[in-house]
Amino acid sequence: MGALEGKRALITGAASGIGRATAILFGEEGASIVLADVDRSGGQATAAEIEAAGGKAVFVECDVTRTDDCARAAALAAERLGGIDILVNAAGVVIRRSVLELEEDEWDRVLDVNAKSVYLMSRHCIPRMGAGDSIINLGSGWGLVGGPKAVAYCASKGAVVLMTKAMAIDHGAQGIRVNCLCPGDTDTQMLRREARQLGVAEAEFLRQAALRPLGRIGTPREIAQAAVFLASDASSYMTGATLLVDGGGLAGG
């Protein structure tokens, strides 16, 4: 049996990157999954891959910055899966700008996708959850320390770290665990988009990102493995915690 056998999960940002890898690995570990994302083609492809491997997955087109969409995704998960045992808030976006460079609508976009979505989706899922259930919020190493030309991203991920702690306090009496998973630089298209935003050659950007004790960037599956741990009974006494998975990038910070 897999670590998540019989569990029912709702995962945002599941069409690509860490969200996609998490959905696939959750399927391998025995979970049934609702995948929520604005990217219909990517989300449907992820669901098809999970089902082709013998898992159960349903895609729902969802803008995680809109309360109606989040309510619909939570209701669909409860209806199609019979309940929600695990919520993974993995939807995210990055815009590499300083305060002076960042436009107001860009600030709003980053804070809405990265932080407001955690509030909205949790608000609609928690009433359907209970003792033994788990929420995993995707933070970042840059939610723990600052980074250059990333003021909105750092603000949003710092918010997620502290939202996680507050949620753990509020919902511990219900037996709902809430933890924050903070990846370091991970091999995703979002990471490569950062290079383009900064006007840096992709190869050089990735070389610099690998300058950490393990000498490389992470893979989405490695982050997903940590998510499986936080979703499973192996972490049954963890709540309000921040799990840093970054190849040692912040070890000296």
Residue 2 within a domain: no
Q: Is 250 a member of any domain?
A: no
Q: Is residue 240 part of a domain?
A: yes
CATH number, domain with residue 168: 3.40.50.720
The rounded radius of gyration (Å) of the Cα atoms in the chain is: 17
Q: Give the SS3 label for residue 36.
A: strand
Q: Is 119 one of the annotated active-site residues of the chain?
A: no
123 within domain boundaries: yes
Task: Write down the residue that tokens 């219909």 correspond to.
Answer: 40
| CA separation for the pair 105, 111 (Å, rounded) | 10
Tell me, what's the pLDDT at 1? 73
69 part of a folded domain = yes
Residue 48: pLDDT over 80 = yes
Q: What is the pLDDT of residues 157-204, one digit of tens each?
A: 999 999 999 999 999 999 999 999 999 999 999 999 999 999 999 999
Residue 41 sits in which domain range? Answer: 8-185+219-245
Task: Provide mean pLDDT across the span 110-127.
Answer: 98
Q: Is residue 191 part of a domain?
A: no
CA 179, 180, 186, 191 torsion: positive or negative? positive
Q: Pick the catalytic residue from 26, 59, 142, 153.
A: 153
Count the helices and strands in the chain (H runs, E runs). Answer: 9, 7
Domain count, the chain: 1
In a domain, 83, yes or no: yes
Q: Is residue 253's pLDDT more than 90?
A: no
Task: Please indicate, yes or no, if residue 210 is contained in any of the structural domains.
Answer: no
Which alpha helices (H) appear in 172-248, and where do they start and end?
Answer: 189-198, 202-209, 220-231
